[in-house]
Amino acid sequence: MTHFLAKQKLQLLRALPLGSLLMVIPPYSALAQAGSGVSEQLNANLTTLSGGPLSLQQVALITLKNSPTLIQGTLGVQSAIAGAQMASSEFDIYTSVVGTTSQGRPAFTPDTDTQNLTFSLNKRFRTGISTTVSAGISRADNRIISQDTTNISQLNLNITIPLLKGRGYVSAAASESSARLQSQAVELNFYHGISKLLLASTNAYWDYKAATKNLKIQQESEQRIRNWIKTAKEGIKTKNQGIKLRASVGASRIRAYLLDKQRNTIAAIEQLNSTKGALAVSTGISNKQFANIGEPSEDFPYDWSGVLARLEQQPMQHKWIAKAKEKRLDIQAAKLKQEASAILLAKARRDVLPQLNFGLNATRRAYELGDGYNRYIDALSSDTRGTNTGVSLTFVYPLGNNLAKGQRDLANATYNINVIKTNDLQRTVSMQIEVNTGTLMRRLKEAVEAVKAVKLYGSTLETSYNNSRNRLLDKPHLILNLIDIEEKFTQANNNLVTSLQELAKAIAKLRYQTGTILTAVSMDIDELKLGDLSKLPRM
């Protein structure tokens, strides 16, 4: 996890376009084939809507550019990093320089001027040991007798070693380690949030794509009926009066069917506008840019028979579940939080012990008598009096020790809560993959059968029309039969689009659920690596 903090975290905003790679998919005609393994490259120019074809990469980039959720998430990561930095401050080296001067004018003793200069360093180590090193020099100037001026220097060293409470890395560095893990967890959840956000915009894109194809299907169906009406009108002119009457009835039926088709086309246009609006909302596009949203350029794949056969022979859900537990960033974040709470629990258990500190101190002093700057400086080295040493043993234990015991119980509860959350998240993800695998298999079967149905109905419609077009007006029942086949052909096309739409969304969802969208996460654009999104995970 340390690589998540290796880069400068204050540049998180630069990382936002990275998430756009999560949903960049090669041309969809290759989706059902083995992927090339080549990572897609970002093109920042795609964030401008021009009204031309709209790719999935553009949708991802625009989503990241406009999303206030990602901006808030960036600030959250910055806050967590700042918290980890502050937690490390207790191991900083604290310096202190103090200078004082005073003048004493007592009533019955000689006047005295004093000057003091003290420098100190304080350092607490992650083992729990703390040290203080100080050096100082003081001057007491007798205003009457200059020879009585005293210059004293002093060098001190104090070491405190905790023997029970506060001893070792488990106690001293617990807050820092926990804050660092929490910071990494926040960052992982941020990346997971990017995946979730882009999954929503990707689903909206496929809904928009399906609506455009459904509209085209309705328009083609309507045009077929118009061609039939044109043929009928031309045929009526050449018939006798009796046949003209029957032909007129047949033409009326076709025109009535055309009205239904026109109504369906209007509904398809409304659905297109609705999905277009949903895409705009999902990507954060403003109403001023709404008109510049072009038609989706990605297409649905059609040939899934090979993938279906492989999955039927070798089910993949157990491998997908294992991959999710390994790769899901939110699961990794939950484990980091659990680890952080375990560190705090270990510290809390250690803190229940009494405080027993061993202290060691050493002091060295030097003296110099006489007035003047040179004598003042000479006090640093001349006439030393040797080194004074001492040891101490300090015992502190509050009767009842309620604070430490309460903190231990609270830390234990927090740890157990995080364990439950982690296990439940893994269970939930596993169950979601099980369910989505079943959905995926059903979508694959539907797509394969839908392709067959479209081909069959298309061939039947063409054959029936060619065989009956010359007798279409003489025998009205042929019109009804042709209308029935055309209706089923149109419905088969709509069913195919729906199957491919839901299949594309199921694949994106499975990639999200298994955490296999990214193979490496970094704050640097050049170091971000994508998994192969042209095929199902581990296939």
Q: Indicate the length of the chain as a whole number.
A: 539
Q: Of 9-18, 55-64, 256-265, which gets the smallest average pLDDT? A: 9-18
Cβ contacts of 446 within 8 Å, gap of 6 or more: 495, 499, 502, 503
Give the residue among 283, 227, 290 at the shortest CA–CA distance from 64: 283
Cβ contact 201:282 at 8 Å: yes
User: What gap in Å lies between CA 47 and CA 40, rounded to an integer?
Assistant: 16
pLDDT of residue 519: 61
Percent pLDDT > 90 in the chain is 38
Decide if pLDDT at 284 tops 60.
yes
83-102 pLDDT per residue, tens: 999 999 999 999 999 999 88
Decide if pLDDT at 426 tops 80.
yes
Whether the pTM exceeds 0.85: the reply is no
119-153 pLDDT per residue, tens: 999 999 999 999 999 998 888 887 666 557 788 88
Q: Find the angle CA(22)-CA(296)-CA(202) to the nearest 5 degrees.
A: 30
101-126 pLDDT per residue, tens: 888 777 666 777 888 999 999 999 99
Backbone angles phi, psi at 361, to 5 degrees: -135, 150
Going from N- to C-terminal start, the domains of the chain cover 17-85+176-341+411-530, 97-168+355-402
User: What gap in Å lies between CA 393 and CA 43, rounded to an integer?
Assistant: 67
Decide if pLDDT at 183 tops 70.
yes
By CB neighbour count within 10 A (0-12 exposed, 13-18 middle, 19+ buried), where does 109 fall? exposed
The mean per-residue pLDDT over the stretch 530-539 comes to 58
340-395 pLDDT per residue, tens: 999 999 999 999 999 999 999 998 888 777 766 666 676 667 766 678 899 999 99
pLDDT of residue 122: 96
Most confident range (mean pLDDT) of 49-53, 154-158, 463-467 is 154-158
The mean per-residue pLDDT over the stretch 471-499 comes to 81
Decide if pLDDT at 64 tops 50.
yes
User: What gap in Å lies between CA 185 and CA 171, rounded to an integer?
Assistant: 22
312-328 pLDDT per residue, tens: 888 888 889 988 998 89
Most confident range (mean pLDDT) of 66-80, 93-107, 396-410 is 396-410
Q: Please indicate whether residue 74 or residue 416 has the higher confidence score (pLDDT).
A: 416
Cβ contacts of 414 within 8 Å, gap of 6 or more: 341, 344, 345
Give the residue among 440, 429, 460, 523 at the shortest CA–CA distance from 7: 523
User: What gap in Å lies between CA 2 and CA 181, rounded to an integer?
Assistant: 9
Backbone angles phi, psi at 132, to 5 degrees: -135, 125
Q: What secondary structure, in 3-state letters, does 135-147 show?
A: EEEEEEEECCCHH
Average pLDDT value over all residues in the chain: 80
Decide if pLDDT at 405 tops 90.
yes
Q: Please indicate whether residue 267 or residue 477 has the higher confidence score (pLDDT).
A: 267
pLDDT of residue 153: 83
The class level of CATH for 17-85+176-341+411-530 reads mainly alpha
Decide if pLDDT at 518 tops 70.
no
Decide if pLDDT at 240 tops 60.
no
26-57 pLDDT per residue, tens: 322 333 333 333 344 444 445 566 678 888 87
pLDDT of residue 205: 92
Decide if pLDDT at 397 tops 70.
yes
Most confident range (mean pLDDT) of 56-65, 348-357, 530-539 is 348-357
Residue 399 φ/ψ region, left for φ over 0, alpha for ψ in the -120 to 50 degree band, beta for the rest: beta
290 band by pLDDT with thresholds 50, 70 and 90 = confident
Cβ contact 150:130 at 8 Å: no
409 band by pLDDT with thresholds 50, 70 and 90 = very high
